[in-house]
Amino acid sequence: MSRSLARVERALAEAGIAARILEVPGETRTAGQAAAAAGCALDQIVKSIVFAGTEDGHVRLFLTAGGNRVDAAKASALAGTPLGRAGAELVRRETGFAIGGVSPLGLLAAVPTWFDPRLLDFDLVWAAAGTPRHIFAADPRALLRATGARLAAFTG
């Protein structure tokens, strides 16, 4: 088992979330791939969108429904700083995950995180479990609590 997947399993257990982790034969790097693998609606996929603060260089995490797009201006306003693209090396260094497998839980350190209200429209959502081939299902309310994310409108 990969260290990333083990960190996610541990974080789920510590949060008291009874989540089912699914290993898929292909990749789930995109929301469409993840929805097909899970057999769910596109918006039931929790996309982990990582931005970098252009002033401090640290990452911010936006958890959004699979069919939504993060509005960079709204995200920057919430973060209180201009945000830009986060490179693969920065994402791995600050979250502990590779792009395409960034989980909302099990991050290496606390990362400022925001949560798309659209995800609360479902009883169950699916998120990356630390690798591009693993996803987990959870109650979105439990995920919101466990991540410590702030509920906010940042899509457009």
Residue 20 has pLDDT above 90, yes or no: no
Q: Is residue 156 part of a domain?
A: no
Q: pLDDT tens, 38-96?
A: 999 999 999 999 999 999 999 999 999 999 999 999 999 999 999 999 999 999 999 99
- What letter would DSSP give residue 26? S
Per-residue CA distances from 122 to 38, 126, 154 (Å): 14, 10, 18
* Residue listed under structure tokens 């919430």: 78
Whether 143 is in a domain gets the answer: yes
The single-letter code of the amino acid at 6 is A
pTM of the model: 0.96
Distances in Å between the alpha carbon of 62 and those of 21, 23, 128? 21, 24, 13
Residue 43 lies in a domain: yes
In this predicted model, what pLDDT tens digit does every residue of 103-134 receive, in sequence order? 999 999 999 999 999 999 999 999 999 999 99
Q: Is residue 32 part of a domain?
A: yes
Q: Please state the domain count of the chain.
A: 1
For the chain, what percentages of helix, strand and coil (3-state, to nearest 5) are there? Answer: 35, 25, 40
Question: Residue 156: is it exposed, middle or buried by C-beta count within 10 angstroms (0-12/13-18/19+)?
Answer: exposed
Query: How far apart (Å, rounded) are the C-alpha atoms in residues 61 and 111?
Result: 7
Q: Specify the CATH number for the domain of residue 115.
A: 3.90.960.10
Bridge partners (DSSP) of residue 63 are: 48, 115
Q: How many residues does the chain have?
A: 156
- For residue 105, give the nearest of 132, 70, 133, 145 by alpha carbon: 145
Domain that holds residue 135: 3-151
